[in-house]
Amino acid sequence: MTDTMNNAATDGLRFFGRMSAAISHDLKNTLSIMNESAGLIEDLALLAEKGRPLEPQRIHQLGATIKRQIQRNDGIVRNMNQFAHSVDNPLKEMSLASSLEMLLSICRRLTDARGIAVSVASPDREIAIVTRPFYLYHLVWRLLEWGLDYAGAGKRLVLQIDPVPGAVRLVCRGLEGLTETGAGQCPPSQWHDLLVLLEGRIEVAADQQSVAAVLPQRIDA
């Protein structure tokens, strides 16, 4: 188990770094918009000093832009905080829908860069599991990253939360480009340690264009 944990920790650091870089990109973008808004206010003030009438409506618009970006920034930082705290507890009860939404929001830039839209589909009722939070995020990212290669022409993946007795299936659907050969190579060896730590297994079905991680409802300490 120690080797498994060491491998997962090393690999996990890479994942953590990649997500942190994606978050920093998003922050840089909001900062850029605020920077240009502030710059434009300065420009308008300089023009007003030279006699051009200042349009209050324009200032209101720029104020609204800055507020919107502050809210966006706040959401990014809140996600970053939740993600960072996922390493605090070895085991924790997690609400799956909100946790997956949070992860998708963090890695949106990476999935967008591939031109693929990803969404979460969950049942109406709350589905929670007791698991290892950070490793769960890592496995979901692995699933998604693998799925991006098989998204096909549809360019749309759905992460579906599917409760079954005593377990939950996290199904990545929309793998239009998935072949039997591709399915045969899943799960890749790099997923092994994560699956051991999460006491899970992978089910891949090329005919259903899906791959699923089956995870227990509760991991005991």
Using CB under 8 A, pick the residue from 6, 17, 25, 85 that binds other proteins: 25
Count of CA atoms in the C-beta half-sphere (13 A) of 140 = 32
The pair of structure tokens assigned to 54 is 């200042």
d(CA 181, CA 98): 33
* 131 touches other proteins by CB under 8 A: no
Packing angle between helix 96-113 and helix 2-49, nearest 10 degrees?
70
Least Å distance between CB 21 and other proteins? 8
Q: Please report, as residue ranges, which positions from 90 to 119 form the binding site for other proteins (by CB under 8 A).
A: 109, 112-113, 115
* 73 touches other proteins by CB under 8 A: no
| CB contact burial 63-89 (16+ within 10 A = b; e otherwise) | eeebeebeebbeebeebbebbeebeee
Least Å distance between CB 28 and other proteins? 4
x-or-dash string of contact with other proteins, 151-190, rule CB under 8 A: ----------------------------------------
Question: Which residue's CB is nearer to other proteins, number 20 or number 95?
Answer: 20
User: Beta partners for 203?
Assistant: 212
d(CA 169, CA 217): 10
From residue 157, alpha-carbon distances to 38, 93, 170 in Å are 38, 26, 12
The pair of structure tokens assigned to 91 is 């085991």
Count of residues touching other proteins (by CB under 8 A): 22
* 60 touches other proteins by CB under 8 A: no
Using CB under 8 A, pick the residue from 35, 89, 119, 190 that binds other proteins: 35
Question: Which residue's CB is nearer to other proteins, number 34 or number 211?
Answer: 34
Q: Are 206 and 173 in contact (CB under 8 A)?
A: no
* 126 touches other proteins by CB under 8 A: no
* 28 touches other proteins by CB under 8 A: yes
Least Å distance between CB 1 and other proteins? 36
Can you give the binding site for other proteins, defined by CB under 8 A? Answer: 21, 24-25, 28-29, 31-37, 39-40, 43, 47, 65, 69, 109, 112-113, 115
